[in-house]
Amino acid sequence: MKELEYPFDTEYVMKKRKSIRRTLLSDGSTRLKKKIAVFGGSTTNDIVVYLELFLLNNGIEAEFYQSEYAQYWQDAMFPSEELLSFSPDIVFIHTTNRNINSFPTTADSADEVNALLEGEYSRFEQMWQKVTETYHCPIIQNNFEMPFYRLMGNRDCSDYRGRSNFITRLNEKFYEYSQVHEGFYINDINFMSASYGLKAWSNPAYWNMYKYAMCVEAIPEFSFNLANIIKSVFGKNKKALALDLDNTLWGGVVGDDGVDGIQIGQETGVSQSYYEFQSYVKQLKSLGVILTVCSKNDHENAIAGLNHPEGVLKPDDFIIIKANWENKDRNIIETANELNILPDSIVFADDNPAEREIVRAQVPGAAVPLMDSIENYIINLDRNGYFEVTSFSADDLKRNEMYKANAQRAAQQAAFGDYTEYLLSLDMTAVIDDFLPVYIQRITQLTNKSNQFNVTTKRYTQTEMEAVSESGEYIRLYGKLVDKFGDNGIVSVVIGHKNGDVLDVELWLMSCRVLKRDMELAMLDRLADRCREEGIKVIRGYYYPTAKNNMVRELYGRFGFSKVSEDESGNTVWELSVEGYEPQNKVIRVEGNSSVKSI
């Protein structure tokens, strides 16, 4: 459920928690059933409410036991009949710095403080051992957040009498225990409170009024983070990260801008951001996360981009590279099959909201994080905890090699039914009409940078474009496409030269961001209309191959033109009779210039 993925809207989740719960419980999915005992040192009610939601969203239906207020130690050490018969699958100990019995005072000697530290720590260690003996189940233990005031100011963190220093040392002892005990996990509230803002997190009003050790608004994030550990322990981590390329792993479009034109490396702030993101992805690989590519690109261009000398990731880092013009949901499902994993173990990272939407809709269970702007990529992937590490083995390090071998064996599968439905769901409206002066600059710019979906790759200066625009010898169309995710701007240009009753199409291009939306069909329909109005009988199309425009080699053939000639270099000429042409676009509403207001 999108509403429960990072970055979620805390306000919304808090307000709608009951209806979200109802929706999740009635969605018909089968979930793991687990019993979770929560031993609280403060109020835990809301923690459990949100924890339940986030676990449901991760395929776990939990039943909870909560200790009476602040009875964590008693419950752990002297379990009741109720608790014994509950028999938890996991124990969560929710303690905070409010539960530290004795802090150092300024009168204490270093030895006295060491004794205090030992005393506090052994109380916890006793408890962990008792829980392990009694239930033989995993334990999740909070570390401690920093205190919200510093008696000694900055010195509080370094002086052995400071509370900040004491907490830091206590935390360190918790970590040492976790390093040598399997099935013992730290819930890092020290990080969570810092990330949320310690001042807001520790607002004492919530403790003094409600005995919550953190502000109520921070609880959903707290529970989200806790749920990540639990779902990881119960095997619900994701396994693979499928990455788009253009504007995801580098800035720009490698097919259009060329390898030298993409942004990656140390040159600019933007290229450094992509570099940092690639480094993060490379680190994920070192955890055993399988990396794959899922990009709409020619294969050679994808490889060229990945071989950029300034990049961190290389083609070899990916188990599978799907760089083609198939729909992405299909590529994701094929990727899963080839890896022999379930499609819901895949995280799909793509900057394009329309691609994210189709994968979200067509690949149930796959994670599709928000990738709205390069500076947020790392945090959005990281905070979602898709690959939360609760154990780390030698196998994790070898996993990539293993999958690489499997991938070569697996068969391809193609199963897709509802593409038209998807297109209709995008709620697309196009403006397709003769050039308007205000758009000439954009039309020229698009014309000169489009390389892939471009049949003639003819270039125009702005002056030449203006001349075409004012001449009576041409039929011109620009196309602008709006869908429910926003305005794609001007994405297609067609220019035809009138030659008696024949129209010679000198230019037909489209931006790759709207591929497979049937925009080209909408353009063709409109062109046919315009030809009828001008008394044109035949449309003649030309295809001139370049290194980059292979994807439109058969464009006119797909349109229904007949090929009339082809020479040795692969240049082709095509013709279509205007009479009897039937409109082909069925998914885009088309309007004319009259709909372009106030410009």
Query: 46 vs 520, which CB is nearer to other proteins?
Result: 46
Could you give the CA distance from residue 214 to residue 204 in angstroms, rounded to a whole number?
8
Nearest alpha-carbon partner for 8 in 202, 187, 223: 223
Q: How far is the CB of 21 from other proteins (least distance, A)?
A: 9
Peptide bond into 7 cis (omega under 30): yes
216 in contact with other proteins (CB under 8 A): yes
Are 294 and 318 contacting, i.e. CB atoms less than 8 angstroms apart?
Answer: no
Could you give the CA distance from residue 534 to residue 479 in angstroms, rounded to a whole number?
20
46 in contact with other proteins (CB under 8 A): yes
394 in contact with other proteins (CB under 8 A): no
Count of residues in contact with other proteins, rule CB under 8 A: 18
Q: Give the contact letters, 166-205, x = binds to other proteins (CB under 8 A), - = no.
A: ---------------------------------------x
Could you give the CA distance from residue 113 to residue 434 in angstroms, rounded to a whole number?
82
- The SS3 of residue 455 is coil
Query: 10 vs 406, which CB is nearer to other proteins?
Result: 10
The single-letter DSSP state of residue 153 is G
Say which residue the tokens 């790392």 belong to: 378
Say which residue the tokens 């709205």 belong to: 372
Q: How far is the CB of 14 from other proteins (least distance, A)?
A: 7
Say which residue the tokens 């758009």 belong to: 439
Q: Based on the number of CB atoms within 10 Å of its own CB, is 221 exposed (0-12), middle (13-18) or buried (19 or more)?
A: buried
Only one of the segments 122-130, 210-218, 340-348, 417-425 lies at the binding site for other proteins (rule: CB under 8 A); that segment is 210-218
Which residue among 2, 15, 314, 532 contacts other proteins (CB under 8 A)?
Answer: 15
Q: How far is the CB of 77 from other proteins (least distance, A)?
A: 26
Which residue among 6, 34, 40, 43 contacts other proteins (CB under 8 A)?
Answer: 43
Q: How far is the CB of 18 from other proteins (least distance, A)?
A: 4
Only one of the segments 41-49, 164-172, 344-352, 531-539 lies at the binding site for other proteins (rule: CB under 8 A); that segment is 41-49
Tell me the residue type at 37: A
Which residue among 112, 188, 217, 396 contacts other proteins (CB under 8 A)?
Answer: 217
221 in contact with other proteins (CB under 8 A): no
Geometric angle at alpha carbon 561, from 558 and 564, rounded to 5°: 125
341 in contact with other proteins (CB under 8 A): no
Only one of the segments 17-25, 146-154, 342-350, 485-493 lies at the binding site for other proteins (rule: CB under 8 A); that segment is 17-25
Query: 15 vs 586, which CB is nearer to other proteins?
Result: 15
| Distant-in-sequence, close-in-space partners of 334: CB < 8 Å, separation ≥ 6 | 322, 412, 413, 414
Only one of the segments 153-161, 211-219, 250-258, 517-525 lies at the binding site for other proteins (rule: CB under 8 A); that segment is 211-219
Only one of the segments 10-18, 119-127, 277-285, 531-539 lies at the binding site for other proteins (rule: CB under 8 A); that segment is 10-18
Only one of the segments 14-22, 322-330, 342-350, 351-359 lies at the binding site for other proteins (rule: CB under 8 A); that segment is 14-22
Helix residue spans in 185-267 (DSSP H):
189-196, 198-201, 204-210, 219-233, 254-257
Which residue among 45, 471, 499, 595 contacts other proteins (CB under 8 A)?
Answer: 45
Q: How far is the CB of 223 from other proteins (least distance, A)?
A: 14
Q: How far is the CB of 23 from other proteins (least distance, A)?
A: 11
Which residue among 3, 9, 11, 375 contacts other proteins (CB under 8 A)?
Answer: 11
148 in contact with other proteins (CB under 8 A): no
Geometric angle at alpha carbon 403, from 401 and 406, rounded to 5°: 115
| Distant-in-sequence, close-in-space partners of 594: CB < 8 Å, separation ≥ 6 | none
Tell me the residue type at 348: F
Could you give the CA distance from residue 10 to residue 2 in angstroms, rounded to a whole number?
13
Could you give the CA distance from residue 150 to residue 166 in angstroms, rounded to a whole number?
12
Could you give the CA distance from residue 390 to residue 408 in angstroms, rounded to a whole number?
30
Task: Report the half-sphere exposure of 495 (CA within 13 A, side-chain side).
Answer: 24
Which residue among 212, 387, 460, 574 contacts other proteins (CB under 8 A)?
Answer: 212
209 in contact with other proteins (CB under 8 A): yes
Q: How far is the CB of 219 from other proteins (least distance, A)?
A: 10
Binding site for other proteins (CB under 8 A): 11, 14-19, 22, 43, 45-46, 205, 208-210, 212, 216-217
